[in-house]
């Protein structure tokens, strides 16, 4: 069996009993950084064979996991912190395992994004998690532009050296918004800071960050000032045929074309 095991994101006590059991019973542990995982296993007196599974060798690692599992071995997969495959190596492994029909399971545990959402006190009824932003400025801004109108809380991971860069891109695309930075979650220097995007985050950046940004505010659709009939008639007056006029009005108002057809049968 292959198990993806969540590990602590800071405080080593934030490990589940199932995770300890799975790591203890594993024949092999695949990990992002063997040195980092060795510290965790040593803290719980677990000695295991460690193999690398990082973003540059996921396909190779997946083939090794499949071979071991089919020999009847127990395989555990971990990242340096949190859930493998979520902003960490493992996503490609999951895809290959699923394609090959190989069974695997997941053992849940600590999660930085959800912990930060709670600490921020931002609206949590719905949220969008986008992880680490792309390195290239154009790709960052294209990604953010697709979420500019998202009304739920937006959550990002950011390395300390990237925080200022990421906040600059967020302000460039979103404009002024409330934001929150949470760092060193579960550790001694855990900190939550609130600010406006235009202000940025002052001071030296240390530790891993989760950045949270308030969602877009609801704005009135200017087309709602016109009745459906007036809206369609406007496009008819511009020379469009009925089909195209209804299509455009439907897109403007965000309602089905069929609804507009019913209200403008006589136009």
Give the per-residue SS3 of 150-168: CCCEEEEEECHHHHHHHHH
Per-residue model confidence as pLDDT tens digits over 170-184: 999 999 999 999 999
Kindly state the helix (H) or strand (E) to which residue 145 belongs, with its residue range. helix 137-145
3-state DSSP assignment of residue 83: coil
For residue 219, what pLDDT is reported?
66
Rounded to an integer, what distance in angstroms lies between the CA atom of residue 260 and that of residue 249? 8
Per-residue model confidence as pLDDT tens digits over 232-267: 888 878 888 888 888 888 777 777 777 777 777 777
Rounded to an integer, what distance in angstroms lies between the CA atom of residue 188 and that of residue 185? 8
For residue 30, what pLDDT is reported?
97
Which pLDDT band holds residue 221 (cuts at 50, 70, 90)?
A: low
Do residues 109 and 16 lie in contact, with contact meaning Cβ atoms separated by under 8 Å? yes
Owner of token pair 């809206």: 231
220 compared with 235, residue with greater pLDDT = 235
How many other CB atoms are found less than 10 A from the CB of residue 213?
25
- Domains observed in the chain: 2-110 (3.40.1010.10), 113-213 (3.30.950.10), 222-263 (no CATH)
Q: What phi and psi values does residue 212 have, to the nearest 5 degrees?
A: -120, 135
For residue 7, what pLDDT is reported?
96
Average pLDDT (28-42) is 95
Helix 137-145, helix 163-174: angle, nearest 10 = 50
Residue 219 token pair:
């704005």
Per-residue model confidence as pLDDT tens digits over 130-188: 999 999 999 999 999 999 989 999 999 999 999 999 999 999 999 999 999 999 999 99
Listing from the earlier edge strand, what are the strands of the sheet with 153-158?
127-132, 153-158, 209-213, 178-183, 191-196
Owner of token pair 């996921």: 58
Owner of token pair 């069929």: 258
How many other CB atoms are found less than 10 A from the CB of residue 136?
9
Average pLDDT (73-83) is 95
Per-residue model confidence as pLDDT tens digits over 108-138: 999 999 999 999 999 999 999 999 999 999 9
Alpha carbon distances (Å) from 136 to 87, 108, 128, 143, 165: 17, 32, 21, 11, 11
Strand pairing class (28-31; 127-132): unpaired
């Amino acid at each position: 069996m292959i198990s993806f095991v969540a590990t602590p994101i800071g405080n080593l006590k934030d490990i589940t009993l199932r995770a300890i059991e799975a790591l203890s019973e594993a024949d092999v542990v695949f990990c992002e950084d063997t040195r980092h995982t060795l510290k965790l296993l040593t803290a719980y007196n677990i000695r295991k064979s460690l193999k690398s599974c990082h973003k540059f060798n996921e396909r190779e690692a997946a083939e090794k996991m499949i071979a071991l599992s089919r020999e009847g071995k127990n395989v555990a997969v971990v990242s340096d912190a949190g859930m493998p495959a979520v902003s960490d190596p493992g996503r490609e492994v999951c895809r290959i395992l699923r394609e090959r029909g190989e069974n695997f399971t997941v053992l849940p545990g600590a999660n930085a994004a959800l912990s930060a959402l709670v600490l921020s006190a931002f609206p949590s009824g719905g949220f969008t998690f986008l992880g680490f932003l792309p390195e290239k400025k154009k790709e960052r801004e294209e990604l953010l532009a697709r979420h500019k109108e998202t009304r739920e809380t937006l959550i990002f991971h950011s390395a300390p050296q990237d925080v200022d860069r990421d906040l600059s891109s967020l302000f460039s695309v979103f404009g002024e918004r409330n934001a929150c930075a949470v760092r060193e979650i579960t550790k001694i220097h855990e900190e939550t800071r609130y600010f406006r995007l235009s202000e940025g985050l002052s001071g030296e950046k240390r530790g891993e960050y989760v950045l949270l940004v308030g969602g877009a505010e609801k704005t009135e659709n200017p087309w709602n000032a016109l009745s459906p009939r007036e809206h369609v008639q406007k496009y008819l007056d511009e020379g469009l045929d009925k089909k195209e006029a209804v299509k455009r009005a439907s897109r403007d108002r965000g309602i089905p074309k069929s609804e507009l057809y019913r209200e403008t049968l006589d136009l």
